[in-house]
Amino acid sequence: MEQEIIRPKIGAEEVRHATEILKKYKRGKAHLEQRIIDNEQFWKLRHWEQMVKSGEGGNSGDPQPRSGWLVNCILSKHADAMDCYPEPTVLPREPGDATEADRLSRVLPVILKNNRFKQVYSDCWWYKLKSGCAVYGVFWDGTKLGGLGDISLRKMDLLNLFWEPGVTDIQDSPHFFSTELVSNERLLAEYPVLAGKIGGGTFSVSRYLYDDTVDTSDKSLVVDWYYKRGGLLHYCKYVGETVLYATENDIETPTAEVVIGVDEEGQPQMGEIPTGISAAQRGWYDHGKYPFVFDVLFPEEGTPCGYGYVDLCKSPQKQIDLMNQAILKNTLAAATPRFFIRSDGAVNEEEYADWTKPFVHTNGNLGADSIAPIHAAGLDGVYVAILQSKIEEMKETAGNRDVSNGGISGGVTAATAIAALQESSGKLSRNMIDDSYEAFAQIATLCIELIRQFYKLPRMFRLLGENGTEFISYDAAGLQPKWLDDGVNGTYRVPEFDLEIAAQDETPYKTMEYNQLALQLFQMGFFRPEMAEQALRCLELMEFKNKDRLIRSIDQSRTQAAELAQAKERLIQLSAVVDSVKGSHLTEALQEETAEEDLAQNGRERFTLADKNVNAMERLKQSAREAVKPR
């Protein structure tokens, strides 16, 4: 009996249908793609070519000044973002998950560092500021760590991503496509099944206007097709009409080799047991979400993307450059000598235009009207004022005032006033960065879900903590579903976590502020054990960085002081018993020692207070002497 041939669930027909959906999605985002390409030209200061083509930039031979006000705005915003590079803290939702949350809080930064995420974060911010939306890809890469696999974080290009037009959340799109141009040589080396099947595709992606010559004739488009079916996330990779991998075609059950017994000679017998369900039954990722996170700058309705600072400021930037062009043309016209010459004047024009020649030949009489200079009209000062107003308009629109870049005007010279102005001017950047932290929290959540699914085997992490370098072994055992039995009905609970995102590095002003606060708390006696109750009550009303750590330290100091006092009391009681038996005087000696310690402590406090008063009086005297000193 002939064996029945099982047809793959995802084949050429399904791929053709997916490609038609991809083309439909591409047509839906054509305007977005053109806007992104135009914005990249503005970022590269190549916008005059577009303006000339559209008739806005005058003649091609006119001056084409390219001022960098828009570029400076993007540079400033990117610097603000990198000053507040995020760091995740994992918080448990159940008391039993506190230990696992603490370990994840230390492991996640290492995973991000291994992926060079700071560079990815920087690249995404450049893209976000220019185009209004950055996209992070959070994938599992099975080729990392010698085949053990690990998380991979990448910056994605919106020109290569496609979703259903009209959705504001990509998770609502029934399909999601990620495309990439890959060289044919590399494809044939990795997938020999593609031999003779590469080329002749009917789909192409939009491309930027590169300065270099980019040849794509020897490359083919690889499509990563994600789709949701039956509550599962499925995945298919294909080139043309050839399927390279599809989860719905992967019906093989994963197994592991284990010892199942021993033979007659006592040797272990190995066998394979199933370790899970097939990819066709499980899907691609257990979390069931598209592995892409959209970080939007200024949101728009009806799209998961937004618009950026180039879209916001390109109009005033055009006007600034056009006015600069007009001023330059007027300056050149006024600075270049020009003359009217009569056609019958018979003046040697070449000699007249050459300022190095002392004599100019002429044939005939030289009349007063034979040659007359051309006078160019001077530029009125109001036009320069309009140019300055346009520059101020761009600064106000982008929130890129001089004070935010360190420049101060209006006679403000006090350091505290300058710091207050800079702090106030940064509220737009803080709001923008706070929104990006929400996207970062989604990235960290997807990382945790990938750890839960794929960290089956333990792996070693080098952590840099409070106690120096530490090595720990970590796997996903603590993230698996836990059995809960209340005595009547049992159920499984999956450990879940919340994320708190904060800036990893503070600005110098913030660091100085925290250091000054620590000194003030020390001077006010917050760290003295006998002041612990008052200090803790005061701290309840305060809010600053590392407040919880300070509260734990003060509470621990109070507990240690109480235990020490109890130990002294017990020691005095025991010494009294010893004195009654042996006739010694240990109790009196201990009491005198305790009294001397208390007296010394009170003396130090009085000396410190007196020293503060003396220093304060000296400062007052010095300021008085300075006030009356002749200038």
Residues of the chain with pLDDT > 90, as a percent, come to 26
Between residues 388 and 374, the one the model is more confident about: 388
Number of separate domains in the chain: 1
CB-CB contact of 108 with 88 (8 Å): yes
- Does 127 reside within a domain? yes
pLDDT of residue 610: 46
Distance of CA 286 to the CA centre of its chain: 26
- Does 207 reside within a domain? yes
Q: pLDDT by residue (tens digit) across 233-273?
A: 999 999 988 999 999 998 888 777 777 777 777 777 777 77
Would you say residue 534 has pLDDT above 70? yes
Domain interval for residue 157? 12-41+107-262+269-306
- Does 52 reside within a domain? no
- Does 396 reside within a domain? no
- Strand residue runs (E) in 433-550: 459-465, 468-474, 482-485, 490-493, 497-503
Would you say residue 305 has pLDDT above 90? yes
- Does 83 reside within a domain? no
Q: pLDDT by residue (tens digit) across 159-170?
A: 999 999 999 999
pLDDT of residue 479: 87
Average pLDDT over residues 291-296: 96
Average pLDDT over residues 519-544: 78
Quickly count: other Cβ atoms within 10 Å of residue 554's Cβ.
21
Average pLDDT over residues 30-59: 84
Exposure class string for 263-279: b at 16+ Cβ within 10 A, else e: eeeeeeeeeeeeeeeeb
pLDDT of residue 293: 96
Average pLDDT over residues 453-474: 78
pLDDT of residue 442: 94
pLDDT of residue 629: 45
Q: What does the alpha-carbon distance between residue 87 and residue 77 come to, in Å, rounded to a whole number?
A: 19
Of 240, 179, 294, 254, nearest to 12 by C-alpha is 240
Q: What does the alpha-carbon distance between residue 124 and residue 155 come to, in Å, rounded to a whole number?
A: 6
As a 3-state breakdown, the chain gives helix, strand, coil percent values, each rounded to 5, of 50, 20, 30
Of 248, 204, 211, nearest to 228 by C-alpha is 248
- Does 460 reside within a domain? no
CB-CB contact of 398 with 312 (8 Å): yes
Between residues 620 and 515, the one the model is more confident about: 515
Reported pTM: 0.75
Q: pLDDT by residue (tens digit) across 394-453?
A: 888 777 765 455 555 555 555 554 455 555 556 778 888 888 999 999 999 999 999 999
Least trusted range by pLDDT, from 12-26, 380-394, 500-514, 537-551: 500-514
- Does 30 reside within a domain? yes
pLDDT of residue 415: 52
The CB-side HSE value for 181 (13 A sphere, CA atoms) comes to 16
- Does 498 reside within a domain? no
